[in-house]
Amino acid sequence: MRRIDYIVIHCSATREGHVLTPEALDREHRRRGYRMTGYHYYIRRDGTTVVTRPLELAGAHVKGYNKHSIGICYEGGLDAQGQPKDTQRPRLRTPRPQPRPGPQRNGRGMGVGEGVPVLRGGEGAVRKMKNEE
């Protein structure tokens, strides 16, 4: 298994009221020149999680982080007019760990704004995983 340092969460930029099936997501990635969907997991609006890329393969979802990350995409991210909106169902939201003092701040307890990169412009949010040394 490859080393995983980050989990990167993306939205599919799908409008409310519209559906993006895993097959359509795969077609869109192939149309852009990829061999398969670049994300490892796709979470549907109903909470169904679909494996879209083997974890053994590096993702194709965020430049500079693919080799040591897992890419997760959730269906949604836009309101009915195409404007950005948090459309995740509350039960799908990932709780952000609280920072802890001391050396753990560089591990799982580190939050956004404390050195964990947040990528803008549809590139996703990056969460640093605990270093296993």
Give how many domains the chain has, as a whole number: 1
Q: Tell me if 39 is assigned to some domain.
A: yes
Is 55 domain-assigned? yes
CATH number at residue 48: 3.40.80.10
96, 63 contact by CB (below 8 A):
no
Mean of the per-residue pLDDT values of the chain: 75
Q: What is the pLDDT of residue 94?
A: 54
Per-residue pLDDT reduced to its tens digit, 29-72:
999 999 999 999 999 988 899 999 999 999 998 888 899 999 99
- Confidence band, pLDDT 50/70/90 cuts, at residue 123: very low
133 domain-assigned: no
Domain presence at residue 1: no
Centroid of chain to Cα 98: 20
53 assigned to some structural domain: yes
Give the per-residue pLDDT at 102: 37
* % of the chain residues with pLDDT over 90: 46
On whether residue 98 sits in a domain, the answer given is yes
Q: 37-50: string of b/e by CB count within 10 Å (b at 16+)?
A: bbbbbbbbbeeeeb
pTM of this prediction? 0.71
